Structure 1
Amino acid sequence: MKSREAHGLRALLSTCKALLKKTMDLANEARGLLMIFGIRLPRTVKHGSFDGVARPMIEMDDVLAHALVPLLDARMVLYQYFLELDRRVKRAASQDEVCVRLMTVPGVGPIAALTFKGAIDDPARFKRSRTVAAHFGLTPRRYQSGEHDNPGRISKAGDKDVRATLYAAANALLMRTMASSLIKSWGMRLVRTKGRGRAVVAVARNLAVLLHCMWIDGTEFRQDQVGGRV
């Protein structure tokens, strides 16, 4: 059983994610309806800029305005609530000692830190850090029969939100962060030899181990770290 604090963190993150999804759904609905009238919005519009781009096009036509302005208004309300929850997420992470430490790892932001902390809750539940990666389904399945012992795809067991968050953090570490580190160099070598998808999964698996080790040890990230104590 997780603590009340852990359930509260997970509820905050789930609500924030749900509001963003609904905001995107309404934006896509508006795009689809506008296309019927021959109006195409730019393919990439930031969430905060969508209303400013779409509303002038809609308000020029009374028929469109009558049908779509309420949709834009509803989307804007949802987006404002999302921004408020997003601020709460960042504030919660910045005020939590464990999350501040976890965020010293390149690619790990407030959402990743809070998601990991809320899912683990008590790090002492795992005797070995390596089992954390297996708990969240980031270790390969093994197919054994006679003399054959072949690793397969990752098991995808456990909390899919944590797995997706670790994958996103690993992708950001490899593709977006500019700071050099041993774990990034190791991951980039895997990109060249195994491909990007497998490399990101491998880095996500190491991040799960590393974050748990840092939590247990009370240490911050060092550039010479690849994985943690296993």
Structure 2
Amino acid sequence: MKLYVGLDRKLLKRKLIDIENHIRGTLRAYGLLMGAVGRGSYEARVRELLEHSDPVFSVMIEALLDVRRAIFEGYERLHRVLLRVVQHDAVCRRLMTVPGVGPVAALSFKVGVDDTPRGRQPRSAG
């Protein structure tokens, strides 16, 4: 189960980035520049740019924003599940004590290496 949470989360993140980039590119084709915005203010910035644009264009972008919102909500749900899995796993918590290792890296490492005694030599884990 742990592996699937990470893979599904990664898929949704990729699709989220793809759709955000598509919206940016479409807006740019109409001369509307997004600038640097975070995930939380992305939708508000797009709506701000659409205020004085063509109604048909606005409907098209609104549909893409609806899809983006659904993907973002799914991504956040899976991320919360991943955090709960890591929180209840002693190995992941121990791995996260290493500077620079967060929940995603810890779970990825644990799932990838899963059973260390299986290898004959420690270097075979790499």
TM-score, normalisation: structure 1: 0.52
Letter in 2 for 1:22: K
Q: Which structure would you say has the larger RCO, counting Cα contacts within 8 Å and 6 or more residues apart?
A: 2
1:130 is paired with a residue whose SS is helix
- Confirm or deny that 1:103 pairs with 2:96: yes
Q: Which residue of structure 2 aligns with residue 128 of structure 1?
A: 121
Letter in 1 for 2:47: R
For these two proteins, the number of residue pairs brought into alignment is: 125
Is the 2:86–2:93 Cα contact (8 Å) retained in structure 1?
yes
Q: CA deviation at 1:20?
A: 0.8
**Alpha-carbon distance in 2 for matches of 1:77, 1:33:** 20
Is the 1:55–1:72 Cα contact (8 Å) retained in structure 2?
no
Structure 1 stretches lacking a partner, 5+ long:
1-7, 134-230
1:36 to 29, 41, 46: 29
Is the 1:26–1:71 Cα contact (8 Å) retained in structure 2?
yes
Is the 2:95–2:101 Cα contact (8 Å) retained in structure 1?
yes
1:131-170 residue pairs with structure 2 within 5 A? 131-133=124-126
- Confirm or deny that 1:66 pairs with 2:59: yes
1:164-183 residue pairs with structure 2 within 5 A? none
2:17 is paired with a residue whose SS is helix
Letter in 1 for 2:120: K
Letter in 1 for 2:90: E
Q: CA deviation at 1:67?
A: 1.4
**Alpha-carbon distance in 2 for matches of 1:125, 1:13:** 23
| Stretches of 4+ aligned residues off by more than 4 angstroms | none
**Alpha-carbon distance in 2 for matches of 1:78, 1:16:** 10
Q: Which residue of structure 2 aligns with residue 27 of structure 1?
A: 20
Structure holding more strand per residue: 1
For residues 112-171 of structure 1, the C-alpha deviation after alignment (integer angstroms, 9 at most, x for no partner) is 1111111122121123322212xxxxxxxxxxxxxxxxxxxxxxxxxxxxxxxxxxxxxx
**Alpha-carbon distance in 1 for matches of 2:18, 2:9:** 14
1:56 to 44, 48, 51: 48
Is the 1:12–1:89 Cα contact (8 Å) retained in structure 2?
yes
Q: Which residue of structure 2 aligns with residue 143 of structure 1?
A: none
Is the 2:13–2:75 Cα contact (8 Å) retained in structure 1?
yes
**Alpha-carbon distance in 2 for matches of 1:10, 1:57:** 39
Q: CA deviation at 1:10?
A: 1.3
TM-score, normalisation: structure 2: 0.92
Q: Which residue of structure 1 aligns with residue 75 of structure 2?
A: 82
Q: Which residue of structure 2 aligns with residue 115 of structure 1?
A: 108
